[in-house]
Amino acid sequence: MNGELLYLNGEFLELREGRVHVEDRGFQLGDGIYEVIKVMNGRLVWLDDHLARLDRSLAAIRLGDALEDHDMGRILPDLVARAGLGDGSVYLQVTRGDAPREFPFPAAPHPTVLAYTRPRDFPLPSFITTGITLHPVEDLRWGRCDIKSTNLLAAVLVKQEAQEAGAWEALFMAPDGTVREGGSSNVFAVLGGVVRTHPLDRHILGGITRLHVLEIAHRLGIPVEERAFTLEEVRQTAAGDCEFFSASSTTDMLPVVAIGGVAVRGGRPGPVTLRLLDEMRAELAALAGREKPPALLGPP
Ligand SMILES: Cc1ncc(COP(=O)(O)O)c(C=O)c1O
């Protein structure tokens, strides 16, 4: 096994053997939802949180009973074990299945349920110390960004644009100038020692990593405010007491050192970010049954 294996509607197959109907509504209409779960040392990270969000996404698109015959809490660990996957991720997708192409729901949908494993390298500590750059873009997505929908065209276009601009990730901006989230990540600023992030509403995805960043901050006694902020606020404090970072399942947390070509904190990751990241890396290592990695943040 090379660490890659597919579960498709009850069967385990080689990834390249998987076939989905051309009239699958996920393919034609984006009528589906997905999850991406990190795997470390063969263990699915924060699986219960991902399964809870999966249920919420399915309920939101009125496909609440799609997984009746697929016990994902059992199937996913089985898939990872059969694939012989150590470190990597699982991509899971549920669509309203195939039916003659019409917009309203088919009378008796038979959902397409799939998940596959993929071996993957995660960001190296050296990359974490270098930090990433963000490219601000207008948020042209729909009004239900809280649903983890497979309609990702806006993210595809802005992430391509970010790459062409030499940035690592796009940054979705609201028309009023507030910062929403990354192309496929949540973002946080540390302004005057307070961790700030956009509140949970229909404009952002409730990231699982975001949830754990906030939990860790609470545990460490670092003040948190789920309140939107502008790039202006970041820039005004940029020279001094300001940090910025992103968070997602496959990247954990990454320090942001420049936004739209303007350096944050002189282009160096900040101490609050590194403290949170050290704690997250320790938590992930414990979940994976591994030794705690060396601290990124030196003693004060
Ligand atoms: C738009 C968006 N926001 C945030 C996230 C981060 O979510 P999570 O931490 O659950 O991976 C993602 C992940 O793909 C995303 O696509």
Tell me the DSSP string of 217-268.
HHHHT--EE----BHHHHHHHTTSSEEEEEEETTTEEEEEEEETTEESGGGS
Beta strands in the chain (DSSP E): 6-8, 11-13, 32-40, 43-44, 88-95, 112-119, 132-138, 169-173, 179-182, 186-191, 194-196, 224-225, 242-248, 252-259, 262-263
Q: Could you tell me if residue 9 is left (phi over 0), alpha (psi between -120 and 50 degrees) or otherwise beta? A: left
pLDDT tier for residue 297 given thresholds of 50, 70 and 90 = confident
How many angstroms is it from 210 CA to the middle of ligand 1? 8
**Closest among 298, 299, 137 to 231, alpha carbons compared:** 137
Nearest 5°: phi and psi at 63? -130, 35
pLDDT at 167 over 70: yes
CA of 246 to the centre of ligand 1 (A): 10
In the chain, % of residues over pLDDT 70: 98
For 245, left (φ over 0), alpha (ψ -120 to 50), or beta?
beta
Residue recorded with tokens 């990190």: 38
Residues in the ligand 1 pocket, defined by CB under 6 Å = 36, 181, 184-186, 205, 207-210, 247-249
Q: Which of 186, 201, 250 to mutate to test the pocket of ligand 1 (most atoms within 8 A of CB)?
A: 186
Global pTM? 0.97
Question: For 18-41, how does the pLDDT look when each residue is reduced to its tens digit (9 = 90+)?
Answer: 999 999 999 999 999 999 999 999
pLDDT band at 1 (very low <50, low <70, confident <90, very high): low
Domains defined along the chain, listed by start? 6-119 (3.30.470.10), 125-287 (3.20.10.10)
Per-residue pLDDT, averaged over 187-194, amounts to: 95
CB 202 within 8 A of CB 143: yes
Residue 104 has pLDDT above 90, yes or no: yes
**Would residue 292 show up in a list of annotated catalytic residues for this protein?**
no
Q: Residue whose CA is closest, atom 15 of ligand 1?
A: 184
Mutate to test the pocket of ligand 1, among 185, 187, 249 (most ligand atoms within 8 A of CB): 185
Query: Region 39-44: what's the mean pLDDT?
Result: 97
93-114 average pLDDT score: 97
C-alpha 100 – ligand 1 centre gap (Å): 32
**218-251 pLDDT, tens digit each:** 999 999 999 999 999 988 875 667 999 999 999 9
CA angle (40 as vertex; 34, 45 as ends), nearest 5: 50
* Nearest atom of ligand 1 to the alpha carbon of 249: 11
Q: Give the pLDDT of residue 238.
A: 55
How many Å lie between the centroid of ligand 1 and the Cα of residue 300?
Answer: 32
The mean pLDDT value of the chain amounts to: 95
Residue 19 corresponds to which tokens in the numbers above? Answer: 């076939």
108: tokens are 């008796």
- Nearest-angstrom CA–CA distance, 8 and 43: 21
pLDDT of residue 241: 79
| Residue appearing with tokens 């609470």 | 218
pLDDT at 144 exceeding the cut of 80: yes
